[in-house]
Amino acid sequence: MEDKEFFKQLKKETKEYSDKIEDGFCSFCLKIYFPEMTEDDIDNSIFGLNGNDDSIDSFYINEDRKEIHISQFKSAYSLENMSALKKEWISYLITVPDKLDDYDYIQNHTNPKIKDIATEFAVRRNKYEIKFHFFHLGYNPNKELIEIYQDLKYYDFNEIKDQYLEYLSKTSSIEPKNINIKLSYDNNPEKIEKKIGKHHTLISLITGDEIINLRNEFKYKLFDKNLRFSLGNNKINKTIVKSAL
């Protein structure tokens, strides 16, 4: 998918949530990056955070994984006005826990949603893992800036586009096109076809590079036709795990 086509599709999908791309962009990203979130979860995570939010655009707690997700979003109205990442944007996001821990600051805060978040945060502060997410319809010319913050995940325009294609690959009901795979066989016919148990099986080799290339090209659709389910913790599967390790 070309950049222009993706941006056009992005604007179309964000309109399902809001006429303003900066508001709809939040819901769009949460939908494609957090499949466990329901529509209500997404709405609740961003409700009341459209002003005076102390750099919190979304606050989401995954109780099953014991994780606190604090996200910020920077959108753009077109490909032409996408901006580079600014250091202060990241700095504001990383300091969110300090503000939530500041009792006097929170007590005097004018946004009731921030007060509610501070209460939820205080209860889980030392028991849950805090994860920061920065979604950016732009680019980052300074990779070292992101590497400083190990608890932060940064998503630029290209990464968001790739994740969207992955999302489409998982949710689309359209049959994938034929997938051509390069396989290497021994010239000896007896070695090409072997019998494993009662089944006649074709055995071939495929390189790791070829698997990666196929995965990059076809995304999740690469696995659509594999209808074989797990056979359990049997001898063969134990050997597969041993080989992988």
Torsion, Cα 85 23 105 125, to 10 degrees, reads -80
Residue-wise pLDDT for 120-140, tens only, equals 999 998 999 999 999 999 988
Residue-wise pLDDT for 19-43, tens only, equals 889 889 999 999 999 999 999 999 9
Of 201, 85, 106, 229, nearest in space to 149 by CA? 85
Query: 5-9, 92-96, 218-222: which has the minimum mean pLDDT?
Result: 218-222
pLDDT on residue 61: 96
Query: 68-77, 88-97, 170-179: which has the minimum mean pLDDT?
Result: 170-179
pLDDT on residue 155: 95
- Residue 101 makes CB contacts below 8 A (sequence gap 6+) with 121, 122, 125
> What's domain 3-171's architecture?
3-Layer(aba) Sandwich (3.40)
Q: Tell me the two tokens of residue 178.
A: 């034929």
Query: 2-6, 36-40, 176-180: which has the minimum mean pLDDT?
Result: 176-180
Contact predicate 75/22, CB 8 Å: yes
Helix (H) or strand (E) holding 130: strand 129-136
SS3 category, 50: coil
**Alpha-carbon span 37 to 117, nearest angstrom:** 18
pLDDT beyond 70 at 191: no
pLDDT on residue 216: 83
CA-to-CA dists, residue 21 to 8, 45, 67, 201, angstroms: 11, 17, 28, 53
Residue-wise pLDDT for 215-244, tens only, equals 888 777 777 655 555 667 788 888 888 888
pLDDT beyond 90 at 195: no
Residue whose entry in the numeric block shows the structure tokens 């996001």: 93
DSSP assignment, residue 151? T
Q: What pTM value is reported for the model?
A: 0.74
Contact predicate 134/155, CB 8 Å: yes
Q: Tell me the two tokens of residue 177.
A: 């096109």
Partner residues linked to 132 by β-bridges: 70, 152
Query: 81-95, 98-112, 164-178: which has the minimum mean pLDDT?
Result: 164-178
| Residue 57 CB-density burial (10 A; 0-12 exposed, 13-18 middle, 19+ buried) | buried
pLDDT on residue 51: 78
Query: 127-141, 175-189, 192-206, 227-241: which has the minimum mean pLDDT?
Result: 175-189
Contact predicate 149/90, CB 8 Å: yes
pLDDT on residue 187: 63
Q: Tell me the two tokens of residue 16.
A: 């399902």
Domain coordinates in residue numbering, the chain: 3-171, 189-244
Average pLDDT of the chain?
A: 86
Q: What are residue 18's phi and psi, to 5 degrees? A: -165, 150
Of 226, 213, 211, 157, nearest in space to 4 by CA? 157
Query: 17-31, 150-164, 168-182: which has the minimum mean pLDDT?
Result: 168-182
Q: What is the percent of the chain where pLDDT is above 70?
A: 87
